[in-house]
Amino acid sequence: MDLKKILDCAMSVAIIAACTVIVVFGVIQFFNRQPATVLKVGDKVRLTGVPVGNKTLVAVVSQGCQYCEKSYPFYRILQEKGDLRLLTRKEPLSFYYERGFAKSTVYLFDTNKLNVVGTPTLFLLDLSGKVQKVWRGFLTPEQEKEVFATINE
């Protein structure tokens, strides 16, 4: 056997071995991944830099989210009736001011710390930061009534 054939064979074996390692590593990562942790009732939340009262509604929103945009009229009503905090990750806050939200309502916040999967997410906190109730997505009229009933208890 000549040297070229030996080198070609060795290179083919090395490539197959590298591909096998990559595939095995990928399969291990896939099956060992942790399920997404989702914000739920009873969780404790720390909103550093965001004032929280006895009953604080927190809405996690993002610019470009069509369901957030549809939810803004309801959130503005909540803003007028009670203690609402609008949290967003990185958009310019002026985006929300232009939609009628008070500067005292809108906060930049690393929403990844909240285990919120998807926007909009609305949740109710007590003074200690314990989650009392969670609503996800664009709310139906029945869910909106539930929000009002919950904050008026």
pLDDT tens-digit profile, the chain (153 residues) = 687 777 777 677 778 866 676 766 655 665 555 445 688 999 999 998 888 888 899 999 988 899 999 999 999 999 988 788 999 987 789 999 999 999 999 999 988 888 888 899 999 999 999 999 999 999 999 999 999 998 888
Kindly report the pTM of this predicted structure. 0.73
pLDDT at residue 35 in the model: 45
Distance CA 117, CA 1 (A): 60
pLDDT at residue 34 in the model: 46
